[in-house]
Homo-oligomer: A and B are copies of this chain.
């Protein structure tokens, strides 16, 4: 048990197996890859297999990839993992890939465009077969920089949660238009007219889409003149608490708050609680795209299906890897309003 024994010894290679079985490397390759197109003596097959087993042979996918020019690996870029949204997408991607044997390289951009670009670079150095990128409000403006290059060199690529590039790359998004519309119709049918929309960021397409959908739905409901939009603060964290206080101090105050996402909704609920305003008695609150949080708070909210988005993205990426000439496509996944406890008939 000298120091040697603690080193990881070189893993056995075809050469070792070949020597042990008394055949050539080619034969080893044929046997271990189960090449049915090649006729092989059952006895040689056996000899090779048992030699491989005895030596504890394990295929080396690096060498394989080098030869094939294909890594059976995709890169998955996420803005952050500790958000249930990205995490669910990541989970869906893995599920979509599961049947094929594909590996996933994970790149975590932590909302930083430089890190993001570096991760893409690492993916490319690794010669991934394709990339799935979950877009991010904070880096979307720099997406073009690297996406451009991917498209030029025709590297398969699917963008999730933003449709800005839908003519040039595959995109998978939620149907925010109908999601928002359902919210407005829900509130409107409960008699709400003074609806305030605490809006998300306008940089990512989903933010813009939701805002546009809100306004269009308000018009169709004939309440466009009474709704109010509270924009987010752009690059700094929005102080929703004070916004809500200001909003509810108006007269007439809104009877419903439609929040851009469930985190905002949670903050709004806190503010209302502090002000002694009852939900849904005095004011209704609707969230958007929350998972655990929305459910835990029994928040009326729009359910998105991030896991499904991930699955769709993965399937599409595989298709595109198979045929790089597919035209770019936009996948719009349905969402649905789930009324829970925070919305009710408008007061008065």
A-side interface residues toward B, CB under 8 Å?
Answer: 3, 6-11, 58-63, 65-66, 69, 71, 73, 76, 80-84, 86-88, 90-91, 94-95, 98, 101, 103-108, 110, 115, 121-122, 124-127, 153-155, 266, 291-293, 296-297, 307, 324-325
Contacts and interface: CB of A to CB of B under 8 A. Distances in A.
A324 B83 CA distance: 34
Nearest to A262: B296
A52 to B, nearest CB: 14
B108 A106 contact: no
8 contacts: A8-B324, A9-B153, A10-B69, A60-B125, A80-B91, A104-B105, A106-B106, A292-B293
B6 A154 contact: yes
Contacts of A69: 10
B8 A154 contact: yes
A7 B58 CA distance: 32
B76 A81 contact: no
A127 B81 contact: no
Contacts of A63: 66
Given A82-B88, A297-B297, A122 B106 contact: no
A156 to B, nearest CB: 9
A84 B62 CA distance: 33
Nearest to A126: B61
Contacts of A66: 60, 62-63, 66
A90 B81 contact: yes
Contacts of A62: 62, 65-66, 71, 126-127
Contact of A105 (B91, B103, B155): B103
A57 to B, nearest CB: 11
Contacts of A98: 115
Closest 8 CB pairs of A and B: A87-B87, A94-B108, A81-B91, A106-B106, A61-B125, A82-B88, A81-B87, A104-B106
Contacts of A325: 3, 6
A260 to B, nearest CB: 16
